[in-house]
Chains A and B, each alone.
Chain A
Amino acid sequence: MLINTVILFLRDALPIFVLVVYLYAHLPASKLWLFFCLVAGALLSLAYINQIHIIGQWFDGNGIELSLWLSQLLIYLLTLVLGYGLTRVQTSYQYFMFWVAGLMISLTLVSKGSNFILYFDGYLNQSNVLQPLLLGTFLGLGICLSLAVLLYLAAQWLKQQFGPWATWSLILVYVTGQLVNALPLLVQVDLIDPSAIAWSSQHLVSDEFEFGHLFNVLFGYQAAPSNAQVTVYVLALLIPLAIFYWLKQRSASQSGNKQ
């Protein structure tokens, strides 16, 4: 039970921590928005869990997979909005970005945090597992917090060196990884056909190892990705990067012309 709880934290809590620290490093410091969106996300997770039996029956029993995949897609689209916000300098856009970031964290809390609530709800009533459950929670939280601090420092350093586009790129890589991770949800409910395995690096870094878990969270690493996952990953990463690079160049040349 102790190890299970720690692994559950690595798989489901770490993505929340990573997104929070990336966004915290990316946006100008304000603790209040973070507090509000964490509370909103926790409340949304509880509401989702409360209705999960009903959601699960939607679309011929595929409601959970579809809702989780749609939330990942929405988080990805919000990341693009966040990138667009960097090309704007108006103050109103800066406030709008806090809302976007808050929504991203809330949706991540719903999709990842709901797994926790299910796990704890199922086992918290059993007195014999309470001690390892709490110990596992403290260990898991400790690991997640340590990694979060390291990632925050790395993100801050990147922002100081290369500007806010560096932290936005980190967020984009993370979100693209999560989007690609959600693709098998559509395959498992038979909405899209499975494609062949592109390669297997199982012997190098297995999905089951700690590094496999960590790389999976940071950039969507999979030891044996399908061709569809690789295609989606490359397109979802390169197209926005190319578009925003072009927008940045254009705005730079326009401001140069004005002067």
Chain B
Amino acid sequence: MNKPVNKTFGCAALFFGLFCQSILAAVPEYHIQLKDHLFFPSRIIIPANQKVKLVIDNQDNTPEEFDSFSLNREKVIFAHRKAKIFIGPLKPGEYGFFGEYNPNTARGTVIVEHSKKESPDAN
């Protein structure tokens, strides 16, 4: 008689576990510096089909807007402030980004590859 109750409880526990796993799953972080209106590193390699977090540190005295048409992202980063942006999961390929206020110099590329070539926090 308790079997249906146990089954329901088991299913609920399973879903709760999966929910917690999705919340607690660590999202890899990639750090980018903005100095003298240049992104460093200007090429970031990230794994395919995985959500990642970009942390951009604006070390300039002026604000900048991180912008990317292919990534569909835009975010203002104030002078001497950091900003975080989640991107992905993405298919393998190259995705350009630029600073909207200085698009001639502040340019970079997110390279999405199947195999993870470098450790995220090495940036």
A: residues with CB less than 8 A from B are 4, 7-8, 52-53, 56, 61, 64-65, 115, 118-119, 121-123, 184, 187-190, 194, 206-208, 222-224, 226
Contacts and interface: CB of A to CB of B under 8 A. Distances in A.
B35 interface: no
A123 B78 contact: no
B62 A188 contact: no
Interface residues of B, number: 25
B22 to A, nearest CB: 9
27 contacts: A4-B103, A7-B100, A52-B78, A53-B78, A61-B83, A64-B76, A65-B75, A115-B65, A115-B76, A119-B63, A122-B62, A122-B79, A123-B101, A184-B73, A187-B72, A187-B86, A188-B85, A188-B86, A188-B87, A190-B27, A190-B53, A194-B51, A206-B69, A207-B69, A208-B69, A224-B72, A226-B72
A189 B65 contact: no
Contacts of B10: none
What secondary structure prevails in chain B residues at the interface with A?
A: loop
A4 B86 contact: no
B101 A122 contact: yes
Interface of B: 27, 51, 53, 62-63, 65, 69-70, 72-73, 75-76, 78-79, 83-89, 100-103
A235 to B, nearest CB: 20
Nearest to B79: A122
